[in-house]
Structure 1
Amino acid sequence: MTTRTRKSKTFEPGHGYTKEEWDAVDFPELTDEELTNMRPARDVLPPEFFKAMEEHRRSRGRPSLEHPKKQVTLRLDEDVIAKFRAGGKGWQSRMNEALRKAAGI
């Protein structure tokens, strides 16, 4: 997990730029003309950019499973749940395996 750091809004030496360079940067508000001339990113950036972004978005998270598990609501006796939970972490997977065995799968 990465830790986010707050970006400084004041000059701090040692970040690859001088105090003069820091002071020279200004971010004025956009003019009405600039706002009027703005175009959507898809009109300005190359299609490869959006293809790469889509591929990156699809590659995030866990890989897809051929047979993903389904979430269901199931009422079980308290002592049955307690027995599986007593085994510690992974009790739901052990319960799934016990059900598969009982069902002959």
Structure 2
Amino acid sequence: MDRPRRPRDPFAAAEAVFSKGAAKPSAPAPAKPPAIPGARQSVTLRIDEDVLEHFQAEGPGWQDRMNAALRAAAGL
């Protein structure tokens, strides 16, 4: 029975395997599309309870009011 023998040099065997089926370099991944203007991002933020109560006291829309206050404080 003629079975192929195991190569004596594992490095040479690995080179032979990878050189036969070497993959061609693929095209670089496409760049991420630019962010959508005006899109919002969800974040976790720890704020004092009294600050949260202040913004929530006026009812729905408190997140928009808090965002406006943060923009004003940042000078945006």
TM-score by length of 2: 0.51
Q: Letter of the aligned partner of 1:77 in structure 2?
A: D
Partner of 2:69: 98
What are the superposed Cα offsets for residues 37-90 of structure 1, whole Å, 9 maximum, x if unpaired? xxxxxxxxxxxxxxxxxxxxxxxxxxxx52300010000000000000001110
More helix by share: 1
1:72 maps to which of 16, 40, 43: 43
Give every structure 1 segment of 4 or more consecutive aligned residues whose post-TM-superposition deviation is greater than 3 Å: none
Q: Which runs of 5+ in 1 are unaligned?
A: 1-64
Instruction: Work out which of the two has the higher radius of gyration on C-alpha atoms and give 1 or 2.
Output: 2
* Matched pairs, number: 41
- Bigger relative CO (Cα 8 Å, ≥ 6 apart): 2
C-alpha RMSD over aligned residues: 1.0
Percent identity of paired positions between Structure 1 and Structure 2: 56
Q: Which runs of 5+ in 2 are unaligned?
A: 1-35
